[in-house]
A and B are shown apart, each in its own frame.
Chain A
């Protein structure tokens, strides 16, 4: 009679309870198991975090393109009475808290009118904004209630403080502020057409801007205006840092707009105000950036995570083989497949769980190092961690399932069947044709990539297949390399190199373990290839963005200046005399191309010359600085016919040719030296620009301080929408990360391959040493064996990766209309690093192999 278990006794059998301890019998297996889970969960978590960070980075990138008072709802009303403006402001103010918005900022602007100040009548616009005077620089006077007039008006007409305009009807002038100039300071960005005098048109007509210090003052001063030209209501909010925050804010903003509309309609003022969410477009772009990056890296990530999970399955198989005797014993005692699967879990589950948890944590901690520079929300972190946990669960499930399935097949169904046949069939499947087909389709899609960037829709329609093209090529070459290596190793028995025994033995060892060798070879080659291609394309995009913007602006920043400044008649302002260079331009020559006049003394120090040989450019500018008889020597930029006739300049004579030139941004043109022109000729140059190697803000401040006009201010940082470049860069930075993970896998695989052959190596080495082989020869033999794997993988991976990157980096150019085309960056450092790491790993593993052979105990040798 079977005795039943006593109540209260532990239900888990002893073998299962002690299984975690059994795992310690092989620390290397524990380490490899933990590392496999770590890498799998790291990748699963990193994928989600990477695309979330891409959204955050896109939001941050777009925040710079929207005025700072437009990160929330924005109400704009035109041509309305002061009472209607008050109604709009009050309605928004009362409704805003219901939708989570704080106090609104109201801006009111009258039409340009005329009023007498002192003895003169001036055209001016009366302006007010809540807290607006805090964003003005008070030069003279006080912050007392009253009107502030611009320094230009006050200085030119000598209007004293305390003056009451319009025959004393206006409040007193209590302050003089520094006039606002374009480019508009951030606080006045959305009101630039109302609060800043437009000097490009008749500023007499557009009038001076007079600010009221407070709302009462404005109401009193504006009493003689029938209507206001503009009333705006916005909110001072920090830019959203994440996509989710931006979406939430946009949703609340839309609700507020609807609420305000309904309220005003109910009061009979329908269509009085137009509500909008200016950041909505940025949200859409950020959303698309996230989707593009996510979709592009998803296939690779899924592939990598599945490979990681398959690694967990392989660990299960390896555990099954290692614990075969125990499994057979427990099966004989009546334990089923599920129980034995759980035994594997009990033994390896802890390393898997710890490794997986470490992978999830590492993915989050290291995100700033590998991911786009964007903020992510805690919810997104948890979602990513959930994905990592999913991969962890899948790994554990596979571990259990593989063991359970094998137990079922071998001990329940009767006997293992057809494994070798299936393995052979799998080996014969031409996987490389599949990956080559993916690469080919990717290439076709890639040819249509880029060039789709348009104003207002800067993101190209990214095709994930196009973005996976480089990796598909690397994968194809990797599989082909592995297949060729496998065939060569099968045929290697024909090699007779016994005159060099260390080499012959290395070949035999490779041939004897060719399946493992091919596996390590593929993983290493993929690691090196993806590292090279990821780094190449990502760096290429980064460099392309820098060079395109640099060549477009001509330097870090630029502003246009008047002809008097260009000719030197009026000196540059004090703060703009160093780190700047004056460039003149004939934009509409008879022959069409631009003719630029550069200062050879300063140009090469200031201009963006990264794509041009600096020394050569300096020498060329020197060469064209002296007139050539009646001709004016010039550099011809780009392919074009004869030099144009330029009114006011001698006939141009081509002294040298260059492909591109700063400021011409890929346009054909000619460059002449300022030093070769007379003052009269300089005076004929219609347009002058100051290039600066410093930030735009410093340059404009210098001009503002000197009270000099400086239109068309441009900065390299914001002249071009960088998002399309970033999308490609972020995608391939993930490919680089994938390469790094694969590199770790390859190193682990190499160490495991050496360790698992420890006994065979030890036995063979003992025999060889007995036969007279010296330890140095033994080391050479292992170096040849492992070096062959590492060397072949490195050469194939680097060659493929760099070639593919070089081919595809131009195809990824999202702004093809702007020169220069992206170039493959200098990858010498990466290649040297890869070779150095490979050499170190090969050396260490060879030493490990020799050490294990030389320190083997007699017992190990006997068992072998």
Chain B
């Protein structure tokens, strides 16, 4: 069900279908998903395992081409793009945070090296990063090897890399699922700050605390949007962010890492 087109959404998905071939025949990873993802705030894709959250996130991250339907990012139809343009979009506009903390980092680099590499990858000047580590509560770890960090610290550093890249879209796949409560809470703090920065944050999760933090929750089941899938919730600051309206904050320049 399309939403009111008062503000250009970051992503516009129309009748998106993704099929996976299996020995038992094709299985639908995403089934006729029509969805607009607002340009600001945190959208949480929620649902049980196998509901299609990760498939949808892969589509949003340009890792997956839908078998049917269209996906637009900032009004650009992704299906029409060449590989080079898709890579350019990944480089300039999207940051991805994976589920396993250690898989978000380059193991041979130090903590600071990872931030610099992330900035470099998006064409940013690594010398103008600012105190990203301080913001993330990782001050003083710049020279450490990433393997010396705990899982929670690694996951926060992963979001720090996304910040260093200064992309307007951050996608995260169950970022707290492999962390203990304390670490997860700190990652949630980071996510809360990201939400305040007028970025498009899309997260898949089962985590109730993360869903509570969301400005919007999209519930999926069996690859399709659930009947009551679109929940506009009050954000953590009490301002309603869910509805995509003219009042929604306009997209601004990217925050400083």
Contact = CB atoms under 8 A, between A and B. Distances in A.
Contact of B165 (A1, A19, A333): A333
A412 B58 CA distance: 12
A22 B107 contact: yes
B63 A411 contact: yes
Interface stretch (A2-10, A128-136, A236-244, A258-266): A2-10
Contacts of B124: 2-3
Given A18-B113, A19-B108, A415-B64, A330 B103 contact: no
A334 B100 contact: no
Nearest to B86: A412
Interface string B1-40: 0000000000000000000110000000000000000000
Nearest to B96: A332
B202 interface: no
A629 interface: no
Interface stretch (A321-329, A368-376, A524-532, A539-547): A321-329
Given A14-B109, A14-B113, A329 B104 contact: yes
Contacts of A414: 63-65
A15 B90 CA distance: 17
Nearest to A332: B96
Contact of A333 (B90, B100, B107, B108): B90
A325 B86 CA distance: 20
A25 interface: yes
Contacts of A4: 123
Most chain B CB within 10 A, of A13, A15, A335, is at: A15
B204 to A, nearest CB: 15
Contact of B121 (A18, A330, A411, A417): A330
B92 A2 contact: yes
Nearest to B127: A6
A14 B122 contact: no
A15 B117 contact: yes
A490 B230 CA distance: 51
Contact of A325 (B96, B100, B113): B100
B123 A326 contact: no
Contacts of B165: 333
Interface in B65-124: 65, 83-84, 86-92, 94-96, 98, 100, 102-109, 113, 116-118, 120-124
A331 B95 CA distance: 11
A22 B107 CA distance: 8
Contacts of A118: none
Contacts of A19: 108
Contacts of B65: 413-414
B125 interface: yes
Interface string A20-58: 011001000000000000000000000000000000000
A2 B254 CA distance: 10
Contact of A336 (B87, B102, B123): B87
Interface string A89-114: 00000000000000000000000000
A11 to B, nearest CB: 10
A2 B106 CA distance: 23
Nearest to B165: A333
A332 to B, nearest CB: 4
Nearest to A14: B117
A10 to B, nearest CB: 10
A2 B165 CA distance: 10
Contact of B108 (A18, A334, A336): A18
B21 A417 contact: yes
A328 B123 contact: no
Given A14-B109, A18-B113, A334 B102 contact: no
A329 B123 contact: no
Contact of B92 (A25, A329, A334, A412): A334
Interface residues of A, number: 32
A141 B171 CA distance: 109
Interface in A388-415: 408, 411-415
A18 B92 contact: no
Interface string A407-429: 01001111101000000000000
B61 interface: yes
A862 to B, nearest CB: 13
Interface string B123-144: 1110010000000000000000
Nearest to B65: A414
B87 A335 contact: yes
A330 B91 CA distance: 9
Most chain B CB within 10 A, of A3, A21, A25, A413, is at: A3
Contacts of B125: 3, 5-6
Contacts of A15: 106, 109, 117, 121
Given A333-B118, A334-B87, A334-B88, A2 B123 contact: yes
Most chain A CB within 10 A, of B108, B116, B118, B125, is at: B108
Interface string B43-72: 000000000000000000101110000000
Nearest to A339: B87
Contacts of B83: 336, 408, 412
Contacts of A333: 90-91, 95, 118, 121-122, 165
Nearest to B109: A18
A5 B64 CA distance: 30
A14 B92 CA distance: 18
A1 B166 CA distance: 10
Nearest to B20: A415
A408 B107 CA distance: 23
Interface string A318-358: 00000001101111111110000000000000000000000
Contact of A328 (B98, B107, B117, B121): B98
B64 A25 contact: no
Nearest to A347: B108
Interface string A511-526: 0000000000000000
A423 to B, nearest CB: 14
A3 to B, nearest CB: 5
A14 B109 CA distance: 9
B90 A334 contact: yes
A334 B122 contact: yes
Nearest to A412: B83
A60 B125 CA distance: 68
A331 B100 CA distance: 16
B80 to A, nearest CB: 15
Contacts of A1: 253
Contacts of A21: 108
A15 to B, nearest CB: 5
Nearest to A9: B125
B110 to A, nearest CB: 10
A21 B106 CA distance: 12
Nearest to B64: A414
Contacts of A329: 96, 98, 103-106
Contacts of A2: 92, 122-124
Contacts of B91: 333-335
B86 A326 contact: no
A19 B95 CA distance: 22
Contacts of A415: 20, 64
Contacts of B120: 13-14
Contacts of A411: 63
Contacts of B90: 331-334
Contacts of A5: 123, 125
19 contacts: A2-B124, A6-B125, A14-B113, A14-B120, A15-B109, A18-B108, A21-B108, A22-B108, A25-B107, A332-B63, A333-B90, A333-B122, A333-B165, A334-B92, A335-B121, A413-B65, A414-B65, A415-B64, A417-B21
What are the nearest 3 A-B pairs in CB distance?
A334-B91, A325-B103, A22-B108
Given A1-B253, A21-B108, A415-B64, 15 more contacts: A3-B128, A15-B106, A15-B109, A19-B108, A325-B100, A325-B102, A325-B103, A326-B107, A328-B103, A329-B96, A330-B121, A331-B90, A411-B63, A412-B83, A412-B87
Interface of A: 1-6, 13-15, 18-19, 21-22, 25, 325-326, 328-336, 408, 411-415, 417
